Structure 1
C-alpha cells in the first residue's frame, strides 16, 4: 500500500451540547423542551437489548450524572455514549457528566483536533439524545413540539455542528418526523435546499410501531430522497431494539450480533420493490459491518429466481436482488477483515469506512492503523474508494472530501 488516504468516516456520533434546544426554541418551551439536569443515578440495566435507567430522588445515593429530561423521559449520559480515551476495561455501563467525557464528543474544535489525531478528514455524525433516527421525538406525546424540536436539531446540525467553524469537515445528517411521511418529505426538501445529502431512518420501522417499507406510507419521503439525492442512512439500533436472544441475555450477546438488524432490513428493502419505483434512491447501513453481505445476496438471488412466483415479489422486484444492491445499497464497516477478504462478492463501490467516534467500538485513535492492517492486500485504488472516494460520490462532497454547504451554515 503506497499510503493510507485521509479517512471520511460515515458513522461517527455527536453528543449534543446541553443548550441545543434551550437556545433554539422560544422561551415558552424551555420547561418542556429537552433540557439537561444533574441528578443521581438510582440504578441502570442493559439486558436483553433493553436500556433501563432510573433517576434518583433527593434522598437517594448513587453517582451524579447529567440527564436529558423531556416529557416522561429521563435519560442519563453514559460512558457508552462517549468511551474514547478510556481503556476497554474502563468502559462500563455507568452514568456520567459532561465533564467526564472527552470534549470532542460535543465540541466542534475539539472534535476536529481528535479527527486530526486519527487521520480523519471529514465525518458524518449520528445523534445521541434524539436516538439514531429521532425515535425520541417520534415517541413523544406532543408531536407539534416534537416537530419543533426535530427542526431545531436539524438547524443546529447544519448551522453549528457543520457550520463555518467546521470548515467543511463535518457532514450534516438530519432527522425527519417519522410519524408523518408528508412532513418528512418537506423536511428532506428543506434541508436539501441548504446542501444536506443524508437523512436518518429506521432499519425496521414496525419495531417503532410504524408502517413497514412494503406499504406505500413512506412513498412521499422516499420520493423526496429520490428527487434530491438524499441518502437514507440507517444505524444499528435505529429500530429501538438491539438484537438479542432472550430477556436475560448479557449485552455481549447483542454486541456480537449487531449486524442482524441490518441483515433483516436489507432483505426488506431488496424485496420491497422500492428501488424500481425510486431509481435514484440510495441507502446505507452504519455500523453493520459487511462480512455477512455475500451470503445474503446469494440467498436473495436464489429465492428471487426460484420462489418469486409464490413469494409475493414477482410483480415488483423486476431484477435480481444482487443487481439492486449494487446500484442502491452501501455497507459500512470499521473492523471487518473477513468482509474485506470477500470484497469481490460485495463490490468495492458499495463499501464505506467509519470510525464510530466516540463510542466504545471506536477504532480511534488507531483507525488508520486498523485500516492499513485489514486493507493491505487491496489495490491502492480500491483502498482510496473505500476510505474516501465512495463517500465523496455518495454524499456529494467536494473532490477534496468536504461538505459543499459549510460556508452557508
Structure 2
C-alpha cells in the first residue's frame, strides 16, 4: 500500500501517574483516596477470568511492585498493564513499578513520541486503575469519595492528559458514577460542555450489580448522551467479568473469547428499544474485533422477523436490528483479517481502528504494517474511512483528526 493513512486509534490506554488523585482530592481523603504504595507481591493469579493479587507487608519476601491503594482495595501495576517494548514470550503476569514500564504509558510527551513511531496521529485512551468504566469507584464504600474520584479523574483526563501539551492528539474519554444515573447524566453534561465527546460504560451492567439497559434506570444517562452527542464506549472487561469456561480455565481461554461479552452486549442493545427512544445515540465496542458481527446481525434479524411476537420486542424494537446497527453501533479492531474480508456484511461506516497501546495485545510499533497487510485488498477511500475518517466523524474531531477542546 503506497500510502497508509495516519491512524486514529479509538482504543489505547493510559496508566495514571501517582499524583492524579492526590493533587485533586481534598486533603482529608489523602489517607483513603487512591494513592501509590510500593510493596512486595505476596501472591498473584489470573485464572477462570478472575484477577487475584495479594499485597505483602514491608520486609516480606517477594518481587516489589507499585500498588494502588484505595479504601480496602490493593491493586498492583502489572506487566499486562504496560507490555509494549517487551518480547511476547517475556510477558508474564507480574507486578512492576513505574520505573519498569515504558514512559509513554503515563507521560504525555513520551506517549506522543511512541505514537509517532507507530504512525498514529491521535488516540482515545481508556483508564487503568479505575478499570474500563470506573468499576473501582462504583465498588467503593464512600459514595462521596467515589464521586470526587470520578470527577478528579475526568479533570485530569481533560486538563492534563489531553491538555495543551498533547497538541490535540489525545482525545478525552471520561467516567461517570454508575451508581446514580442522574449523577451520571450530570457528569456527561459537565464534560460535554468542555468538548468531551465520549464516555465509558459497562458492556453488561448486571455483572456489576447494576440494572440492565432493558430497564428505565439508565434513561437520564442515555438522554444526556443523546442530547450532547456523547458516544458510549464499552471496552472488553468493562463488566468486571471476562469470558471464561470454568474456574480453572487458563487465561488463554478467556483471551481467545474476549469478544463474547461484546456480542452479548450488542444483542442487548439491539433488542432494548433504546435506539428508537434515543435516536442520536451512538455506541462503540473497544477491543472486541469485528469478525463475529455479520452472523449476529443475521441471527438478530431472523429472530426479530420470526419471533418478535413472543420474544418481547414487538412493541419496542420497531426496525430490523441490522438497520439499527448501521445507524448506531461501531465495532473496533486492531487485528482481524477475517472481519476485513467480510466488511460488506458489517458496513464500512461502522468500523474503527485501534492499536491497544500499551497492552500485551497491542500491535505497537507495527500497527501500520499490520493494517497494510490486512487492508491491502481494500480501496484507498475505504482504508481512509476505517483508519481515521469514521473516528473523525464519530468523535467530532477536526478535519485534521485532532481534538479541538485542548485549544480552548
What TM-score, normalized by structure 2, do the two folds share? 1.00
How many pairs are equivalent? 408
The residue correspondences of 1:16-165 to structure 2 (distance < 5 A) are 16-165=16-165
TM-superposed CA distance for 1:407, in Å, is 1.9
SS at match of 1:309: helix
Deviation at 1:26, TM superposition (A): 1.7
Q: Distance in 2 between matches of 1:51 and 1:250?
A: 12
- For 1:190 and 1:311, locate their aligned partners in 2 and report how far apart those are by CA, in whole Å: 38
Equivalent residue for 1:230?
Answer: 230
Shift of 1:58: 2.8
- What's 1:11 paired with? 11
CA distance in 2, matches of 1:305, 1:61: 62
Provide the C-alpha distance between the structure 2 equivalents of 1:270 and 1:278, rounded to a whole number of angstroms.
12
What stretches of structure 1 of length at least 5 have no aligned partner? none
Segments ≥4 residues shifted beyond 2 Å: none
Q: Aligned ranges for residues 226-305 of structure 1 at < 5 Å?
A: 226-305=226-305
Q: Deviations over 1:100-156 (max 9, x none)?
A: 000000000000000000000000000000000000000000011000010000000
Paired residues of 1:2 and 1:380 also in contact (CA < 8 A): no
What is the distance in 1 between the residues matched to 2:324 and 2:3? 33
Task: State the shift of 1:364 in Å.
Answer: 0.1
Q: Distance in 2 between matches of 1:58 and 1:107?
A: 28
Q: Which residue of 2 aligns with 1:369?
A: 369
Question: Offset at 1:27?
Answer: 1.3
**Structure 1 residue matching 2:21: 3-state secondary structure:** helix
Q: Give the structure 1 partner of residue 393 of structure 2.
A: 393
- Alpha-carbon shift at residue 59 of structure 1 (Å): 4.1
CA displacement, residues 147-200 of structure 1 (integer Å, 9 cap, x when unaligned): 001000000000000000001000000000000000000000000000000000
Give the Cα–Cα distance (whole angstroms) in 2 for the partners of residues 59 and 114 of structure 1.
Answer: 37
Q: Distance in 1 between matches of 2:96 and 2:266?
A: 35
Query: SS of 2:368's equivalent?
Result: helix
Q: Distance in 1 between matches of 2:337 and 2:134?
A: 32
TM-score by length of 1: 0.99
Cα distance in 1 for residues equivalent to 2:32 and 2:71: 7
Q: Which residue does 2:357 correspond to in 1?
A: 357
Report how far residue 60 of structure 1 moved. 2.0
Q: CA RMSD in A?
A: 0.5
Q: CA separation in 1, counterparts of 2:58 and 2:390?
A: 52
